[in-house]
Amino acid sequence: MNIFLHELKSYRKSFIIWAISMAATAALFLLLYQAISSDIAAFTKVLESVPEALRNALGFLVGSLSTLPGFYSIIFTYLLLCGAIQAMNLGISIVSREVSAKTADFLLTKPVSRAIILNAKLMATLVSLVATNLIFLAVTVPVALSQDPGTNMQLFLMISATLFFVQLMFASLGILVAVVTRKIKSVVAVSLPTVFGFFIVGMLGSVIGDKAVRYLTPFKYFDPAYILANSAYEVSFVVTGAFLIVAAIAMSYLIYVRKDIHTV
């Protein structure tokens, strides 16, 4: 419990800043909805003039622009990108900082097993991400309702929840990367290329339109067009995502308990 609280305290400021920044971006975009919805026909026309391949790559769903969740899904692609960076930073940093800040000699010689240390760090990561998403929703839901009181809340929340799923995937990936590597000098030097790499693969995949490519990048596990049309997630992707998270965490435990902690 003491490790958990210590970790949570040291990441509190960071996740609050991330949550508020992402919520503010979403809110600003949502505030445009009323202005645009009155001219939705003209707006749709403008979008239609964009080549289809580019539209797909950028995630514009022309057909569903007339509803608030559909409109929201455009900006949400990019919020996912931010959220993924936050989650991966957190995952890498929470494990690797004992090595990079050279505090491993302190923490790992205390009378606690490595598994308990990793438990505490995982819980702190999870709680940070849950808190991020709660702050995010606390801002975006009232803004959405103010723009359109008749907003389909189920769809709005389903789209919002994908942020949490994607974050879980990137956080577990970050933890695994941190556990496997001997020492990470700069967290963003690892997280940014990784996250952008997956994002670009996702964009390219949308242009090709190949379903198999979607399995390669967490960004495409939740297709807004599918969610908007069916009010459901695609089971095969949810299962794959959950499996990847469990596998990454399980591997992290196996490696972390046996890892040699070297002097600096």
Partner 1 sequence: MNIIEIRNLTKYYGKARGIVDVSFDVGAGEVFGFIGPNGAGKSTTIRTLLSLIRPTSGSAAIFGKDCITHAPEIAKDIGYLPSEVFYYDKMKVIDLLRYSASFYKKDCSKRIKELAERMDLDLKRRIDDLSFGNKKKVGIVQCLLHEPRLIILDEPTSGLDPLMQQTFFDLLREENRKGSTILLSSHVLIEVQRICSRVAIIKDGRIIRTEKMSELTENNYKKIRIETGRITDDSRFDLPGVSHLERKDALLSFFFKGNINLIMKRISEVEISNVWIEEPTLEEVFLHYYQKGEERA
Neighbour tally for 220: CB within 10 Å: 22
Instruction: Rule CB under 8 A: say whether 109 interacts with partner 1.
Output: yes
Rounded Cα distance between 34 and 222, Å, is 26
Instruction: Rule CB under 8 A: say whether 236 interacts with partner 1.
Output: no
Asked if 64 and 228 touch (Cβ cutoff 8 Å), the reply is yes
Instruction: Rule CB under 8 A: say whether 17 interacts with partner 1.
Output: no
Token code pair at residue 116:
């308990």
The residue (of 49 and 109) whose beta carbon lies closer to partner 1 is 109
Please list every residue from 113 through 132 that binds partner 1, using CB under 8 A.
113, 116
The residue (of 2 and 49) whose beta carbon lies closer to partner 1 is 2
Token code pair at residue 93:
């940093």
Please list every residue from 244 through 263 that binds partner 1, using CB under 8 A.
258, 260-263
The dihedral region occupied by 102, where left means phi > 0, alpha psi between -120 and 50, and beta the remainder, is left
* Contact flags string 185-214 toward partner 1, x per CB under 8 A: ------------------------------
Query: Residue type at 252?
Result: S
Binder among 106, 196, 226, 243 for partner 1 (CB under 8 A) = 106
Token code pair at residue 117:
């240390």
The residues of the shown chain that bind partner 1, judged by CB under 8 A, are: 2, 6, 10, 101-106, 108-113, 116, 258, 260-264
